[in-house]
Amino acid sequence: MSEPESRKRCLSGVKSTGVPHLGNYLGMMRPAIELQEQHETYYFVADYHALTTEHDGEAMERQTYDITSYFLAFGLDPERSVFFRQSDVPQVTELSWLLSCVTSMGLLERAHAYKAAKDRGEEGAISHGLFAYPVLMAADILLYQANLVPVGKDQIQHVEMTRDIAGRFNYLFGETFVIPEALVRDEVKVILGIDGQKMSKSYGNTIEALLPPKQLKQRIMQIVTDSTPLEEPKDPERCNVFALYRLFASVEEQAEMAERYRAGNYGYGHAKLALFEKVNAHMGPYREHYQQIRGDLDYLEDVLRAGATKARQVAGPVLELARSRCGYKRRPVL
Ligand code: ADP
Ligand code: TRP
């Protein structure tokens, strides 16, 4: 999809579970941060969504600070982007209920995550929160009247569901919500993990974005390649090492490596080392920045609180509009 030209409102969230990997960084965090140059950007730590799997309160709090620190380390500028913690804007849960009442079970039963749980025979055990996950996500997006939602490919279905839910609400109660669109960059829509499947925490195939150099090198060396002998020519377009390399290297460097692949006498081990050098050089400054920020809880709290104040200024009137469309007026005594 091409980049929008006029200034738009972009919004996205990341669940506060686990450590961001190269798939999260390249597929969502980096593109989202780049948008702050030209657009109005709202990003948040989806800690209410994290409750579907995280049932340890201390871990919840810790991981929220972790994700916030990663975003800031990667270049999110809290002066230009509104960055907040989802649970600091409780209006989202109220909107989620209003939306729940116009969302059919049939729509939610089509969600990939629910279908996968069903296929594993776990549908009776999953929480209602997990089943209703897409409704809360719709509330996240609609509460800010966002135009664009920068995400990786796996989240497109959720944005489509948001469009359906918003359309249904608008149809039933009159024009209320902006219909959002997913913004997915073709070149990073699916980053592959070390085993060649989509990189994902659930597959144990990730390369964590800010691994220390030694572990980063070990992990990159584990990327699975085919068994073409060292001396034979290789096809860069079919190699996962090259696919990652091109996302960190300049056009000239990419052309140079592609040439080496095609010429032969260039092994995957060489390419992996070159990839390691690139990722390590790219991430080095972020690693340091992360350590600094993560140690400064007062700063993190300040950023999150200031973000929540700005977010609530937008969320409040939108929730009021949705409530009044449904026939609920705030009474002066309240
Ligand atoms: P995971 O699959 O590891 O649990 P999340 O679901 O937490 O990742 O994804 C957070 C964000 O990162 C989402 O916007 C998602 O689309 C994006 N993302 C995750 N994995 C990838 C990937 N392999 N390639 C591109 N984007 C990804
Ligand atoms: N479901 C998203 C994920 O797993 C996180 C998320 C929650 C989100 N609410 C959102 C993303 C709103 C975009 C917009 O990555």
Q: Closest ligand to 29 CA? A: 1
Residue-range definition of the domain harbouring residue 238: 210-290
Q: Closest ligand to 209 CA? A: 1
Q: How far apart are CA 325 and CA 262, in angstroms?
A: 63
CA of 20 to the centre of ligand 1 (A): 9
The reported pLDDT for the residue numbered 44 is 98
Q: Which residues are catalytic?
A: 118, 198, 201
Handedness of CA 168, 173, 175, 180 (dihedral sign): negative
Are 175 and 219 in the same domain? no
Pocket mutation for ligand 2, best pick of 10, 11, 14, 190 (most atoms within 8 Å of C-beta)? 14
Q: Which residues contact 318 (CB under 8 A, 6 or more apart)?
A: 95, 142, 143, 144, 145
The reported pLDDT for the residue numbered 4 is 56
Residue 192 pairs with which residues in a beta bridge?
198
The reported pLDDT for the residue numbered 123 is 87
The reported pLDDT for the residue numbered 333 is 63
Whether 331 is in a domain gets the answer no
Are 216 and 172 in the same domain? no
Whether 50 is in a domain gets the answer yes
Atom of ligand 1 nearest to the CA of 24: 12
Per-block mean pLDDT, blocks of 10 residues, the chain (334 long)? 77 94 96 97 98 96 98 98 98 98 98 92 92 98 98 96 98 98 95 96 96 98 95 95 97 97 96 98 98 98 98 97 93 64
Report residue 226 as tokens: 């085919």
The reported pLDDT for the residue numbered 308 is 98
The reported pLDDT for the residue numbered 1 is 55
Whether 195 is in a domain gets the answer no
Please count the structural domains in the chain: 2
44: domain CATH number is 3.40.50.620
CA of 65 to the centre of ligand 1 (A): 19
Nearest to 182 by CA among 30, 14, 28: 28
CA of 138 to the centre of ligand 2 (A): 9
Which residue has the least CA distance to atom 19 on ligand 1?
24
